[in-house]
Structure 1
Amino acid sequence: MNVTVETTPTSDAAFHVQVDWASIEKESEKVYKRLAQTQKIPGFRPGHAPRAMVERLYGRNYLYEAAIETLVEAAIDTAAIEQQLTLLQRPHVHVHDLSEGQEQDVTVTVPVLTRGELADYHDIREAQEAVTVADEDIDRVIDNARERMADWVPANRAAALGDRVTVDLKLVVGDKTISDLKDHEFTLVEDRTGLFIGMDQEIVGMSEDETKEFTTTLAADYAKEEMAGQPANYTVTLTKVEVKELPAVDEDFLKKVGPYDTEELMREDVRKDLTLSRTNTALRQLKDKLIADLIERLTLPVPQVLIEAETEDILQDMQNMLSRERIDLDRYLQLMGKNADEYRQELQPEAIRRIKQRRALELLAEREGMEVTPQEIQEVIDAYNQTSPASKRMRLNQLRPSQRLSIERSLLRDKAQDWMMQHLTDGTASVTMESDAAATLAVLGAEAEGTPA
């Protein structure tokens, strides 16, 4: 079987396949046996109908045409791997003029992602951002921990921003009651949005057991158009005002977050963890800059069909992430004021960037002579098998060519990124270190800023 490939500027590839008759005859026997086994043929048990009977039911040419389609599809898959072409659709093979006993010439055009061209990249130089941790940063982390461990105590005064209040609340828009809440508890904030916009400022200054009627105006761009810009009429009775009381940084506090013997030891661990966190962030940013520089040196036409497929992958990732938080994608988009088509359009530049990133890294790996060993592939399979049920475990010798290629490309991209970090930086890039005090951040939290809601 002989295969030649011609690529076009429009990201299509024409596969010209010559199939010898001996291969067709051999494959047609497999087609016959499959039909005899799986199809109901009157008068015969499954698998026992003679070929002449099957040919009579389906047509003699059908067996040969199905055999040619199978052989051609397999030849195209192999040729695409050899030519480093990514098929964007399954090839559709149609045999029209069958000449029995003769070699068959079949041409199939398939949209593909071509190799692309990567210009020289050895002049790229990027530096890792310097990592510093100030005393104020440590104070902020500790203060955030104090905020989370704070108690709410009676304020014994009028309500103020930042207080936690308990209210009976009735909200009417037009002639419709939107909310009728009893003993509803929330924190007063300055910049509330959505349905209750402007409410907090009206409650500020109220005292316990006080009832107040007031009117706010819903935002002109409120999600429900029939309510947008309308007056919102409130009746609020304030039943409780509480203020947050932060714990002192004392022996009891140190015991809960550590335990630590002294405040100095706690601050030392916080500094260590912040340094690690910021170093990792700086390394990710450095890697992103290097990849952006590499993509600028790549010439690669990206077919729309691939952009759309990558966009759907990103959208699916988003949906999976939201579902873990029990958030519906449609509801999320509604809150953002967008529909699915608009969001897909916004995602397309990121889809193109991801496609180009993969190809640029693969071309760099090829140019630098990087290879993937069977042992490295086996390690990937072992990691997969450790988290998979027995029925889905894989073996190296059972991988389909496309599966093996996918693993190899992924490993090559990882190696290319490591190479860039070693050779295209100014030599200041740090090695990511393991945290000896990971438990500290679990208690004190990451370097979040501001007061929790």
Structure 2
Amino acid sequence: MKSTIENLGPTRVRLAIEVPWGDLDHAFGEVYKELGRQVKVPGFRPGKVPNRILDQRVGRPVVLEQVVQHAVPEVYSEVVRENQVRPLSQPDVEVTRIDDGDTLAFTAEVDVAPQLELPELDSLAVTVDDVEVTDEEIDTQVSTMRERFAMLTGVERAAEDGDFVSIDLVATLDGAELEDGSTSGMSYEVGTGTLMDGLDEAVRGLSADESATFTSPLLSGDNAGEAAEVTVTVRSVKTKELPELDDEFASTASEFDTLEELRGDVRTRLSRVKVLQQGSQARDKLVEQLLETIEVPVPEKLVERELEWRTRAMEQELAQAGMDWDAYFSAAGVDSREAYDADMKSNVENAVRTQFVLDAIADAREVTVDNDDLSAQIMAQAQRNRVSPEQYAQQLQQGNNIADFVADVRRTKALAQLLEQTTITDASGNAVDLEALAPKTVRAAESAEDEDAAESVEETPAEAEAPAVDEAPVDEAPVEETPKAKKKAAPKKKAAAAAEDDAEA
């Protein structure tokens, strides 16, 4: 078998392959076996029809066509392995010659990973923000805790901003009540503007059992964009009473006896979070530096396929949320479809460049992935996705994503090793403690109280994400009695947040 490789560009090659007829014996055998089961010839048992009779019955061109379809993928794969070609997509194959009894020739054009010239990587340096916790940040966290322990008390007056009202809503269009257009007993904080346009203006000044009608555009459904008449009825008005910030509050809201001890604990947690943020920031800045230093060509077809896939996935998410593109753009603050597409393309191109760079670094440093690496990453990703490690591994297998997962683990490991050798300083010029950024095995939170300060997942410098601290939504209704145990409030997830994942590859 003969093969040659022609570079059509930095990310595309053409393989020209000639296969001697003798190398096609296996393909002929499989084709004749299948035809023998399908073609019935009088006087011959199924599967016992001679090959020359099959050629006569179905025609030699049909036999050759099926042989080509059977042989080309196997031959192509063998040539790719022998020449260490790294294809990024399915090839475009063209059969150029079939000399019956002599030679099969074909070409295969395919996108490949580019060959990158890596700079010296032994003297990399990045600067990250200082770890500094301000009194204002502590005040914000303590205020959030205080909000969680607020009490709601009924009042006999008209609703004002900051009040919590129980409301009934009925939406009509052209005089007909909309399907799923009514609700009752909904709790809403006046003045937040989180539900629908015009609601705050209608509710302000209403007392219990009073109603008002306003016009608001529909955000989803078959009538999205049309203006509906909405009648709101206030059933009760309650005001929020915050507890005093004193030692009694500290002992109620935490395991600490004094407010000073509580604030000290908040400061410690915020410091831990900012150390993790330093690791995340160092990772991102190191990747940015590599992309600025290394010239990385990007296959256009690969980007186009990824954009098409992400667009289809986004359309499915919007359909499940009952939204269209215009409603999504409005909720996400996106100016236009053109702006969205341009931003998406930039994200995809950067993600592809990052993969190429990390693959090249992993190759140059001969980074390997062992079972411990895979197990650690499966456990970390499973915890992020709120499933068991067994379930996550099963999802990888069912989706045929194991090879991609292994490649991602290898890239992560290469970046983690490179980050360990990078000089990291903070904005004040102080060296950052690399021990705090070193790869760690999967661990639980240091204590139950640390759940508000850090996620209990495996963190490596290459993938550490800054966890949120006590990020309770401002529109979450306070409890009406003192809770028996402290619980972590979960922020509400808006449909518009779905596109944030587009920044990852």
Q: CA deviation at 1:212?
A: 5.7
Q: 2:480: which partner in 1?
A: none
Q: 1:243: which partner in 2?
A: 239
Q: 1:387 aligns with which of 381, 390, 414?
A: 390
Does the C-alpha gap of structure 1 residues 258 and 45 become closer, same or farther in structure 2, counting only changes over 3 Å?
farther
Q: How many residues align?
A: 429
Q: CA deviation at 1:112?
A: 0.4
Q: CA deviation at 1:242?
A: 0.3
Does the C-alpha gap of structure 1 residues 9 and 20 become closer, same or farther in structure 2, counting only changes over 3 Å?
same
- Name the CA distance, whole Å, in 1 between partners of 2:143 and 2:327: 35
Equivalent position amino acid for 1:327 in 2: A
Q: 1:452 aligns with which of 451, 472, 475?
A: 475
- Name the CA distance, whole Å, in 2 between partners of 1:391 and 1:352: 30
Does the C-alpha gap of structure 1 residues 57 and 261 become closer, same or farther in structure 2, counting only changes over 3 Å?
farther
Alignment of 1:186 with 2:188, yes or no, is: yes
Matched ranges for 1:345-424 at <5 A: 345-367=342-364, 369-372=365-368, 387=390, 406=404, 409-424=407-422
Q: What RMSD in Å do the two structures reach over aligned CA positions?
A: 4.4
- Name the CA distance, whole Å, in 2 between partners of 1:13 and 1:33: 35
| Greater displacement, 10-19 / 90-99 | 90-99
Q: 2:328 aligns with which of 335, 340, 355?
A: 335
Q: 2:266: which partner in 1?
A: 270
Q: 1:437: which partner in 2?
A: 447
Does the C-alpha gap of structure 1 residues 91 and 234 become closer, same or farther in structure 2, counting only changes over 3 Å?
closer
Matched ranges for 1:72-87 at <5 A: 72-81=72-81, 82-87=83-88
Q: CA deviation at 1:61?
A: 4.8
- Name the CA distance, whole Å, in 1 between partners of 2:96 and 2:451: 65
Contact 2:378/2:393 (CA < 8 Å) preserved in 1? no
**Deviation readout 1:326-361 (Å, 9 max, x if unpaired):** 625x54653325898875554111111111110011
TM value normalised by structure 1: 0.75
Where 1:14 maps in the other structure, the secondary structure is strand
Contact 1:116/1:301 (CA < 8 Å) preserved in 2? no
Q: CA deviation at 1:121?
A: 5.2
Q: 1:303: which partner in 2?
A: 299
Where 1:41 maps in the other structure, the secondary structure is coil
Equivalent position amino acid for 1:17 in 2: I
**Deviation readout 1:209-234 (Å, 9 max, x if unpaired):** 55567x67879xxx95554xxxx877
Q: CA deviation at 1:425?
A: 3.1
Equivalent position amino acid for 2:289 in 1: D
Q: 2:151: which partner in 1?
A: 151
Q: 1:89: which partner in 2?
A: 90
Does the C-alpha gap of structure 1 residues 155 and 257 become closer, same or farther in structure 2, counting only changes over 3 Å?
same
| Greater displacement, 27-36 / 369-378 | 369-378
Contact 2:13/2:112 (CA < 8 Å) preserved in 1? no
Does the C-alpha gap of structure 1 residues 154 and 115 become closer, same or farther in structure 2, counting only changes over 3 Å?
same
Alignment of 1:160 with 2:136, yes or no, is: no
**Deviation readout 1:90-130 (Å, 9 max, x if unpaired):** 44343643241x2443323x230341433525354212322
- Name the CA distance, whole Å, in 2 between partners of 1:144 and 1:390: 38
Q: 1:287: which partner in 2?
A: 283
Matched ranges for 1:41-120 at <5 A: 41-42=40-41, 47-81=47-81, 82-94=83-95, 96-100=97-101, 102-108=102-108, 110-120=109-119
What runs of 5+ residues in structure 1 fail to find an aligned partner? 395-399
Q: CA deviation at 1:54?
A: 2.9
Contact 2:164/2:237 (CA < 8 Å) preserved in 1? yes
- Name the CA distance, whole Å, in 2 between partners of 1:206 and 1:443: 41
**Deviation readout 1:44-94 (Å, 9 max, x if unpaired):** 665443323332333335445544454443343344454443242244343
Does the C-alpha gap of structure 1 residues 98 and 436 become closer, same or farther in structure 2, counting only changes over 3 Å?
same
Contact 1:116/1:298 (CA < 8 Å) preserved in 2? no
Where 1:32 maps in the other structure, the secondary structure is helix
Where 1:355 maps in the other structure, the secondary structure is helix
Contact 2:168/2:183 (CA < 8 Å) preserved in 1? yes
Q: CA deviation at 1:167?
A: 4.2
- Name the CA distance, whole Å, in 2 between partners of 1:174 and 1:99: 74
- Name the CA distance, whole Å, in 2 between partners of 1:403 and 1:285: 28
Contact 1:270/1:440 (CA < 8 Å) preserved in 2? no
- Name the CA distance, whole Å, in 2 between partners of 1:56 and 1:256: 91
Q: CA deviation at 1:282?
A: 2.6
TM value normalised by structure 2: 0.69
| Greater displacement, 8-17 / 330-339 | 330-339
- Name the CA distance, whole Å, in 1 between partners of 2:288 and 2:253: 41
Q: CA deviation at 1:34?
A: 3.4
Q: 2:22: which partner in 1?
A: 22
Q: 1:397: which partner in 2?
A: none
Contact 1:270/1:441 (CA < 8 Å) preserved in 2? no
Equivalent position amino acid for 1:387 in 2: E
- Name the CA distance, whole Å, in 2 between partners of 1:392 and 1:157: 55
- Name the CA distance, whole Å, in 2 between partners of 1:320 and 1:251: 51
